[in-house]
Amino acid sequence: MDLKQHINKNKLPRHVALIMDGNGRWAKQRGQERIFGHENGIEAVRDTVKAAAEIGIKYLTFFAFSTENWCRPLREVETLMDLLTRAIVNETPELNENGVRLQAIGDLESLPLNCREILREAMELTAKNDKLIVTVALSYSARWEIVNAVQKIAQKVADRIISPDAIDETTFINALETAKIPDPDLLIRTSGELRVSNFMLWQIAYTELYFTPVYWPDFRRRHLYQAIVDFQRRERRFGNVETHPVNTKNA
Ligand code: FPP
C-alpha cells in the first residue's frame, strides 16, 4: 500500500514533533556500541525531513539531546555532540538549497563552543527560508524551559514592565523557547516507550500522541506517513464537544 496516497493534503498536521528513541537498543541488537545507533539515526532524520518537506509539513521538531542526557557516560556525550555538529555541517547546504530553515531550542549556552558556533552559522544561513522550519531541541527539557520562562516573567514584574495581573497565557507562551512555533499537532515517539520524557510539556496540551515500536535508526518516511494517516483518522475536540476536523486550531 502506498501510504502517501492516503494522506489528505488538506488535513496535514502543521507541526510534527519527534522523540527519537531506541538508538542504544538498536545498536545493542547488532552487538555494537550505543553510538553506532546514534550514527545510524542521522539517516532517519534525513529521510524524515525530506518526506515532511515533500508532503508540505511546515514545522518539524526533533528532540535530539535532553538536559538529562548530560548524565550519560562522558564518551557517549562527547561523541553525540561531535555527531550532531558534523550532521549540522554536512546537512546545512542541502537544507538551505531546499528552503529549509534550521533553528534550535534549549540551553544552547551549555553546548560545546564549536557546536554552538556551527549551529549559529547554520541558523544564520537558513534564517530567511520558510518552506519547512526544522527545530532541533538541544540540551532541552520542558521543566528547564518552564522555570526559565517564569524567571523571565518575574524579572519583567520586578522591573515594573508588566504587572502580575497582566500575566496571561500569551505572556507565558512568549516567554517559552517555542514562542514563534505553533504547538505540535502530532508528537511521535519511537522505540515503544509510552511516555513524553520532559518534552514540550506546555505545548503538547492538545497534541495527538503516536507511539511506534520502531527504533529510531529504522524510522523512515513510511513510518511518518503511517503516523499522519493515523492522525487524520482522529477527531480533535480541544476540550469541546463538537467535532473539529484535524488541524483546524492552527490553520
Ligand atoms: C535516544 O536513543 C536518542 C538520542 C539521545 C540522540 C538522538 C540523536 C540523533 C539521532 C542525532 C540527531 C541529529 C540531528 C541533526 C537532529 P537512546 O540512546 O535513548 O536509545 P535507548 O533508549 O535504546 O538506549
Q: Taking the model in full, what pTM does it have?
A: 0.94
Give the pLDDT of residue 64: 97
Ligand 1 site: residues with CB under 6 angstroms? 20-25, 34, 38, 41-42, 45, 62, 64, 69, 84, 87, 136, 191
pLDDT at 251 over 80: no
Angle at 141 between CA 238 and CA 91, to 5 degrees: 95
Nearest residue (by CA) to ligand 1, atom 3, is 21
- Residues recognised as catalytic: 21, 69
Domain-wise residue ranges, the chain: 13-141+183-232
Tell me the mean pLDDT in the region 224-233.
97
Q: CB of 220 within 8 A of CB of 44? A: yes
- Residue 207 · residue 185 · CB < 8 Å: yes
The pairing of beta strand 132-140 with beta strand 186-189: unpaired
**Mean pLDDT on 225-234:** 96
Rg, the chain, Cα only: 18
* Ligand 1: residue whose CA is nearest its atom 18: 24
Taking the CA of residue 91 as centre, how many other CA atoms within 13 Å lie in the half-sphere pointing to its CB? 21
Which residue in the block uniquely carries the three cell numbers 524524515?
Answer: 48
For 225-236, give the DSSP string: HHHHHHHHHS-B
Instruction: Reply yes or no on domain 13-141+183-232 having CATH 3.30.450.20.
Output: no
179-189 pLDDT per residue, tens: 999 999 999 99
pLDDT tier for residue 2 given thresholds of 50, 70 and 90: confident
Confidence band of 248 (pLDDT split at 50, 70, 90): very low
Longest C-alpha distance within the chain, in Å?
60
- Which pLDDT does position 245 carry in this prediction? 61
Q: How far apart are CA 23 and CA 99, in angstroms?
A: 29
The stretch 102-107 carries a mean pLDDT of: 98
pLDDT value of position 102: 98
Cα(20) to ligand 1 centroid in Å equals 6
